[in-house]
Amino acid sequence: MTDQVTKPTIARIWRGRTRRDVADAYEPYLYEVGIKPLIEKALGVQNFREDREGETEFVTISYWESVEAMARFTGGDPTQIHHLPRDHEFLIALPEAVQVLHILASHGQTG
């Protein structure tokens, strides 16, 4: 008997920008408060950081079996933004939306 592996069909992408001078403080906060809960529920999570001259962009991609699975995690509409309690202190502007994409093909190891 083979183990059934659930494959993600949905990627949820969040983007947020900070000033460069607060990026090092935001990174561990984002991980503790935002990423850790995702790790427990999503099929996979990736977190990225790009330092630019005057700002830093953080990107989080979480992978889900379905939109319904995302809704169970968020307790509501998974396409709406769920700001972290201190995002207003760190982010240049609060993101207004997340991107929800259907995965058409996936090859190789991403984690």
Which residue in the block uniquely carries the two structure tokens 């093909």?
A: 105
CATH classification of 10-102 is 3.30.70.100, yes or no?
yes
CA torsion sign for 62, 64, 67, 73 is negative
Tens-binned pLDDT, residue by residue, of the chain (111 aa): 444 568 899 999 999 999 999 999 999 999 999 999 999 999 999 999 999 999 999 999 999 999 888 888 877 788 888 899 999 999 999 999 899 999 998 877 655
Instruction: Identify residue 48 by its one-letter amino acid code.
Output: F
